[in-house]
Structure 1
Amino acid sequence: MTAALKSVGTGPLARRSFLGLGLGAGAALALTACGSGSSTSAAGGSTGTVKWGWALPTSWDPIFSSAGWDVHDLSLVYAGLTKLDPHGTAVPALASGWTYNAKGDEITFTLKPGLTFSDGSPIDATAVKKSLDRGRTDPKSLVSAQLVHVAKVTASSPTTVVLSLTQADYQIPNLLAGKTGMIVSPKAFESNAAGLATQPVGAGPFTLTSYTQNAKAVLKRNPTYWDAANIKLQNFEVYPLPDASTVIASLQSGQYNVAQIPGSQVAAAKAAGLEVQVIPSLVVAVLDINAAKAPFDDPDVALALQYAIDRQALLKTQQFGYGTVSNQPFPPGYVGHDPASDNLYPYNPDKAKALLAKAGHANGLDVTLTTTAAEGVPEQVQAQLKAVGINAKISVIPLAQATQIVYVQHSQQIFTDQFAGRDSAAQAFQVLFGQQGLMNPGRSTPPDLLAAVAKVSATPLDSPDYPTVLQAATALAVRSMPNVFLYTVPRILARHHSVSAIPSDLVVQRFEGVSVG
């Protein structure tokens, strides 16, 4: 399996990626620390309610969601033609299968018959076409850039959808497994498109029954979901990210029975009798550098930043050692990881100083380090930069305005972030390095990198050449683009012993087979 993850370092998600990248007061199945609250569903078997301390989405409408991390919540209520298996490889979902033509510029999906959206309307080829076309053509769509290779969507029969492409692109099945390919009910967006922001209508494993922004989401099992037999939970609740100082107590009290925790809380969680799972992910901490803004328009200054950062120290302090030092966007073992780039930028303050002197900054320079929270990574990075003569002033901006300020206005020099990974490797390149990539504030991409990414898309995923082609693109990207990758950030989930093991999904956290007893 070419996209399989063989081995990945472990570590927590210490803070929320906004790219990337938050229930229920009247719930009848509230759990306590003693594990009460199990029930028997109509489908049979002990189920209950998962109460997930995690995050709430920026929008429940997938084409307007502005955070890569939203995919975990959105996957509860939406389904796509495909989904990703635990290793990140596309497998059938609403579609039973797909085929490419000989040139690779046309892909035909065959839909599973008889499926419906949560509003009862049919999931047929016309509905799929309308949903995908909305993502492609809505003027405010945030997924349209990912669908740029789709020239036309055709419903050639009630169960056949054909995507005509502008060029060969074998990444489409992976691409459509995430937010970009989530199928939304046309009945819903044709009657009240704005309402989807808080009232999603999809065909996922659950349906949203109530939602309080920034507070909680309450969902119930969707009996018409295509894989409903593997959804054991009757109810699901999602809460904002718990505070690190109170998350263990909240798990013990029953406020949550599953929650994300930072590495600093792992020992306490285990001591409290909680189960702890460290789940590999595609998340990586990164400093986004605007190469169009002085002083980083000088390649030597941008390169000096790479050597000025002590990634191992950051990993130890910020992650408590959970994760791996990284110089690239993909984790060890993933098909896109380039082993030759593992130690590309070792900590070398003397080399950083020499590069700054070469660029005419022997006496130092001043920069602004923009962040949404001053404590943690920004403060430690500030101290490391000061050691080589870079005086970084920390500027804190509101999380809700970060996308606009950093990636639309392109007004900041350095921004601390986490890249939440993408379903398609080519999509990850587009977001990070593309000329219109959201996380490429400099909006410049070398022609040879554009060509390398195009070659990735044009190479079948099952080709023996695919790993080499993809890794070559990774190697070129990390040597020609200014992004400063820091360390991998796996998920750390603590759970009450009444909750069964959570699947170890690489890209999107899923809950098939999970039960509460």
Structure 2
Amino acid sequence: MISMTGRRDIGSMSAFLAAILVTASASAADLKIGLRADPDALDPATGGSVAGRVIFAALCDKLIDTTPEGTFQPQLATSWSWSPDSLTLTLKLRDQVVFHDGQPMDAAAVKVNLDRYRTDPISRRKTELKPVASVDVIDPLTVAIKLSQAYAPLVSVLADRAGMIMSPAALAKDSANIGAHPVCAGPFQFVERVSQDHITLKRFDQYWNKDAISLDSVTYRMIPDDAVRLLSLRSGDLDLIERLSPSDVAAIKDDRGVKAIEGPSIAFDVISINIAHGESADNPLGRNAKVRQALELSIDRGAISEVVYEGLFPPANQTEPVGAPYYDPTHALKGRDVARAKMLLAEAGVTSPSFTLSVANSPTLAQVGQMVQVMAAEAGFDVKIQSLESSTLAANSDAGKYQASMAIWSGRPDPDGNISPWVACDGFLNWGRYCNPALDKLLAQARQVTDEKERAKLYAQSVGIYLTDVPFIPLYHYKSIWAARSNVDGFVPYPDGLIRLQGVRKS
């Protein structure tokens, strides 16, 4: 016979066990992700960082998304079609979608956002949407985007920040500071941000595709050091990390608690050179293309890949990877040539040109910078390395407060999105203010051509120009490598390197 005291003990024990189960269940639905860098403002109009795009993948759905194969698929728009003259793109929108503030996501909201991106003085999307003449609401679920000229990359543009739709009500309240409290229509909504530390999002229960979301919340922690990020994963402080160092793939092979996840990538690293943006451009590297050509020839990209990335990152001198539809084999990478580099410096009449190379404060990128420093010295360059926090580096570069900066570009499915931001006269990543009218003309022509073979010919000519002028130096393309705890399932790698949480589960 059980006493009343015994019954209370059993009841207490049952409650205790239930509490444990509830706590475990809640913990299992909270995902902690380690990022290499702190994002800039969480406003699609002004954002420019890779880390920002990772956050946006959970926070702000786009009109169009990409697939794991790099093609396009519906998201907020269920379909899209071109008019016969290619001057109007009509989108059909998903019904019964709401923003995080409960307001409807409809054609009027799309118009507000696209008009903001293309006209607001603070917007960095204006160049991407420059051909857009008007955005017309046909009915609550239909939008017609009318162009001043044919613009083949528009679908790709709408699959990125320019296709992210924010709440018009939230924009009306505080458009200039919306990045501090973003309100979108994605699977997770904003909770808080502590600069240089973490960003927390929670599941949005009214998300249109909520059945694909198994997580209650996600916290992004900013950990620039690759080794520390991996250590935090192996200890269980993190569940998923981006950009696992290639040298660490073998190191975790026998660790049953974690796993590496590899996928294709269209991302690449470049050295941007200040050509004409303020006083920092007034040096031999900025003034003389032959000096820049010499620097490019002094760099052994293959050696950098072997030493820093275990040979996994293919060397590149173009924005398109080898074998891609718009890669130009007639301008294939020829490799390092120190003798030729010295000859070019002599022709330029420059002795021991000196410049500062800014790199993000990551040990891996610091190693790349140091290798560039040593290699360039053999050709006669005096390179100083400046290590900066990622957002500071980006801000300095955007303001022209740099001579050369190393940066990552996460890549775009359309070739225009990989080249124009960096080298077009009004490119939003053209920090050095390089401008060649002949190149701009070719890029404009390529945007108006939908035939792949004809576009490829135009881009081949473009490659020839930027390899001669050298406003930037592509170094290599990435291979995407993530690492996760063994209890994290359902993560699918995409070529753009973004972390999509649809289907991700934690047991």
Q: What's the TM-score once normalised by structure 1's chain length?
A: 0.85
Q: Are the structure 2 counterparts of residues 208 and 316 from structure 1 closer, same or farther at C-alpha, using a change threshold of 3 Å?
A: same
- Which residue number in structure 2 is paired with residue 402 of structure 1? 393
- Which residue number in structure 2 is paired with residue 20 of structure 1? none
Q: Are the structure 2 counterparts of residues 476 and 240 from structure 1 closer, same or farther at C-alpha, using a change threshold of 3 Å?
A: same
- Which residue number in structure 2 is paired with residue 375 of structure 1? 366
Q: 2:481 aligns with which of 488, 492, 507?
A: 492
Q: Deviation at 1:219? A: 2.2
Q: CA separation in 1, counterparts of 2:492 and 2:422?
A: 28
Q: CA separation in 2, counterparts of 1:398 and 1:375?
A: 12
Q: 2:340 aligns with which of 351, 356, 370?
A: 351
Q: Are the structure 2 counterparts of residues 341 and 458 from structure 1 closer, same or farther at C-alpha, using a change threshold of 3 Å?
A: same
- Which residue number in structure 2 is paired with residue 264 of structure 1? 247
Q: Deviation at 1:481? A: 3.5
Structure label with greater radius of gyration: 2
In structure 2, list runs of 5 or more residues that go unmatched: 1-19
Q: CA separation in 1, counterparts of 2:501 and 2:398?
A: 33
Instruction: Check the 8 A contact 2:132/2:146 in 1, yes or no.
Output: yes
Q: 1:316 aligns with which of 306, 314, 319?
A: 306
What do the CA deviations read for 1:150-169 (whole angstroms, capped 9, x no partner)?
Answer: 12111121111111112101
Counterpart of 1:307 in structure 2: which amino acid? L
Pairwise CA RMSD: 2.5
Q: CA separation in 2, counterparts of 1:413 and 1:258?
A: 35
Q: CA separation in 2, counterparts of 1:477 and 1:288?
A: 12
SS at match of 1:87: coil
Q: Are the structure 2 counterparts of residues 445 and 258 from structure 1 closer, same or farther at C-alpha, using a change threshold of 3 Å?
A: same
Q: Which has the higher contact order (CA 8 A, sep 6+)?
A: 1
Q: Deviation at 1:483? A: 1.4
- Which residue number in structure 1 is paired with residue 34 of structure 2? 53
- Which residue number in structure 1 is paired with residue 354 of structure 2? 366
Q: Deviation at 1:470? A: 4.3
Instruction: Check the 8 A contact 2:134/2:147 in 1, yes or no.
Output: yes
SS at match of 2:251: helix
Instruction: Check the 8 A contact 1:178/1:423 in 2, yes or no.
Output: no
Q: CA separation in 2, counterparts of 1:254 and 1:395?
A: 33
Residue 75 (structure 1) aligned with residue 52 (structure 2): no
- Which residue number in structure 2 is paired with residue 305 of structure 1? 295
Q: Are the structure 2 counterparts of residues 224 and 56 from structure 1 closer, same or farther at C-alpha, using a change threshold of 3 Å?
A: farther
What do the CA deviations read for 1:22-59 (whole angstroms, capped 9, x no partner)?
Answer: xxxxxxxxx9xxxx94569xxxxxx7232111244212
Q: 2:264 aligns with which of 263, 266, 280?
A: 280
Q: CA separation in 2, counterparts of 1:147 and 1:299?
A: 31
Residue 438 (structure 1) aligned with residue 419 (structure 2): no
Instruction: Check the 8 A contact 2:320/2:418 in 1, yes or no.
Output: no
Q: CA separation in 2, counterparts of 1:39 and 1:407?
A: 42
Q: CA separation in 2, counterparts of 1:331 and 1:233?
A: 35
What do the CA deviations read for 1:158-212 (whole angstroms, capped 9, x no partner)?
Answer: 1111111121012111101111221000011112335532322111121223333
1:448-487 correspondence to structure 2 within 5 Å: 448-460=438-450, 463=452, 465-487=454-476
Counterpart of 2:239 in structure 1: which amino acid? N
Instruction: Check the 8 A contact 1:113/1:159 in 2, yes or no.
Output: yes
Which has the larger displacement, 415-424 or 101-110?
Answer: 415-424
- Which residue number in structure 1 is paired with residue 493 of structure 2? 504
Q: CA separation in 2, counterparts of 1:96 and 1:412?
A: 43
- Which residue number in structure 2 is paired with residue 178 of structure 1? 160
Tell me which protein shows more helix as a share of its residues.
2
SS at match of 1:448: helix
SS at match of 2:252: helix
- Which residue number in structure 2 is paired with residue 169 of structure 1? 151
- Which residue number in structure 1 is paired with residue 97 of structure 2? 115
Q: Deviation at 1:476? A: 4.3
Q: CA separation in 1, counterparts of 2:271 and 2:247?
A: 22
- Which residue number in structure 2 is paired with residue 84 of structure 1? 66
Counterpart of 2:80 in structure 1: which amino acid? W
Q: CA separation in 1, counterparts of 2:255 and 2:492?
A: 22
Instruction: Check the 8 A contact 1:303/1:482 in 2, yes or no.
Output: no
Q: Deviation at 1:502? A: 2.0
SS at match of 2:417: helix
- Which residue number in structure 2 is paired with residue 207 of structure 1? 189
Q: Deviation at 1:63? A: 1.2
Q: CA separation in 1, counterparts of 2:83 and 2:472?
A: 37
- Which residue number in structure 2 is paired with residue 7 of structure 1? none
Q: CA separation in 2, counterparts of 1:135 and 1:72?
A: 20
What do the CA deviations read for 1:324-347 (whole angstroms, capped 9, x no partner)?
Answer: 111111223433322333324x11
- Aligned pairs, how many? 473
Q: CA separation in 2, counterparts of 1:52 and 1:336?
A: 34
Q: CA separation in 2, counterparts of 1:476 and 1:231?
A: 46
Q: CA separation in 2, counterparts of 1:78 and 1:322?
A: 32
Counterpart of 2:354 in structure 1: which amino acid? D
Instruction: Check the 8 A contact 2:229/2:241 in 1, yes or no.
Output: yes
Which has the larger displacement, 476-485 or 149-158?
Answer: 476-485
SS at match of 1:155: strand
Instruction: Check the 8 A contact 1:170/1:457 in 2, yes or no.
Output: yes
Q: Deviation at 1:356? A: 1.1
Residue 149 (structure 1) aligned with residue 131 (structure 2): yes
- Which residue number in structure 2 is paired with residue 289 of structure 1? 273
In structure 1, list runs of 5 or more residues that go unmatched: 1-30, 41-46
Q: Are the structure 2 counterparts of residues 257 and 404 from structure 1 closer, same or farther at C-alpha, using a change threshold of 3 Å?
A: closer
Residue 254 (structure 1) aligned with residue 254 (structure 2): no
Instruction: Check the 8 A contact 1:68/1:421 in 2, yes or no.
Output: no
Q: CA separation in 2, counterparts of 1:463 and 1:157?
A: 33
Residue 384 (structure 1) aligned with residue 375 (structure 2): yes
Q: Are the structure 2 counterparts of residues 325 and 83 from structure 1 closer, same or farther at C-alpha, using a change threshold of 3 Å?
A: same
Q: Are the structure 2 counterparts of residues 248 and 399 from structure 1 closer, same or farther at C-alpha, using a change threshold of 3 Å?
A: closer
Q: CA separation in 2, counterparts of 1:58 and 1:412?
A: 18
Q: What's the TM-score once normalised by structure 2's chain length?
A: 0.86
What do the CA deviations read for 1:350-370 (whole angstroms, capped 9, x no partner)?
Answer: 111111111113x43333323
SS at match of 1:493: strand
Counterpart of 2:396 in structure 1: which amino acid? I
Residue 106 (structure 1) aligned with residue 106 (structure 2): no
Instruction: Check the 8 A contact 2:263/2:481 in 1, yes or no.
Output: yes
Q: Deviation at 1:474? A: 4.0
SS at match of 1:437: coil
Q: CA separation in 2, counterparts of 1:248 and 1:406?
A: 29
SS at match of 1:66: coil
Q: CA separation in 1, counterparts of 2:208 and 2:461?
A: 38
SS at match of 1:147: coil
Residue 93 (structure 1) aligned with residue 112 (structure 2): no
